[in-house]
Amino acid sequence: MTNFTLSKVDLNAFIKSLSKNFDVYAPVKDHVVDGGSVRFKVVSDAKVICLSENAYYPLKELFFRKKEVLFKYSEKGLEVPVKKVKSKAILGIRRCDLHSLANQDRIYMREVPDPYYIAEREKTLLIGYHCKKAEEYCFCGSIDLQGNADIMLYELPGNKFLVEVHSDNALRLVESLKKIFKKTDIVIDAESRKIEGSNRLQKKDVHSFYDNPGWQEGIDKCLSCAACNFHCPSCYCFNIHDEANVHNMKEGERIRTWAGCQLKSFTRVAGEHIFRDTRKDRFRHRIYHQLQYFKERYGTTLCSGCGRCIRFCPTKIDFIDILNRM
């Protein structure tokens, strides 16, 4: 692996070069549109990029769309939309989101290949960013994070980045920009890869906690609103429904939308049976799927330790604190 350095002064030149072939996305703090929250948006100027805060909205929305038209129907038959996908370069992806994206890839590119996801994902360059300090609800240091970016950026003294290159395409790109990328012998050691304050979860194997009375604290505060599901960068569940044209009931669309296991309707089947009818069953299921069930099947947690589910919970249920006290 060849390492380089990139001066922050040259970040604009890098973005300008990328823009020739990609729509360049980066985390942006928008006070006008998003009320001061951070979201991945198309950028042309490094000045608007916010690397100091984790993105409010998960990266998955760029690949696994909140709302996807699968096909349209009419008296003439079915029409599948032809999707025009632009190449994307996404800059500033934290390691937690890289882990989540690797799990999304596992599900939608290998386990059950999804043409809509694959079309978006295959034309993407991933540029990661290593944050040095955990935010209030992060616990990513307790998770064995997976997933690599094509390029990984680390903060260095002197207002510059160390650049690790992890793919052949990225290496060709970096080597073509010799004016701004300088080869270096600097290597990031294991200690420097750690994120300060991120080891909040004390016990990773939670299988023995299933019947622990400690769950009740979180269950009593849970609203079953699914904010945890929709802010989670790893959740991949969806619903499919038809929307008819109210002006012409002979035509409409079949649509896929995000769904979540915390919604009572999620496991409803014909005959009105609901498999996880109680709030207790739904609350525990999400945490066990994130930390236990997925790992038993695939060898890694679905959870990335980003803490969004706690940060954006309206009643601030800190399930990591609950597990630690168990």
Residue 82, pLDDT score: 84
Write out the chain's pLDDT in tens, 326 residues: 789 999 999 999 999 999 999 999 999 998 777 778 899 999 999 999 999 999 988 899 999 999 999 999 999 999 998 888 999 999 999 999 999 999 999 999 999 999 999 999 999 999 999 998 899 999 999 999 988 899 999 999 999 999 999 999 999 999 999 999 999 999 988 888 888 889 999 988 899 999 999 999 999 999 999 999 999 999 999 999 999 998 998 999 999 999 999 999 999 999 999 999 999 999 999 999 999 999 999 999 999 999 999 999 999 999 999 999 99
Residue range 174-187, pLDDT digits in tens? 999 999 999 999 99
State how many domains the chain has: 1
User: What 3-state class would DSSP assign to 123?
Assistant: coil
Which pTM was predicted?
Answer: 0.93
Residue range 37-77, pLDDT digits in tens? 899 999 999 999 999 999 988 899 999 999 999 999 999 99
**What is the dihedral sign for C-alpha 298, 145, 182, 176?**
positive
Cβ-contact 59, 101 below 8 angstroms: yes
Burial (CB count <10 Å: 0-12, 13-18, 19+), residue 101: buried
Q: What share of the chain is helix, strand, coil (3-state, %, to 5)?
A: 30, 25, 45
Which residues span the domain enclosing 201?
3-325
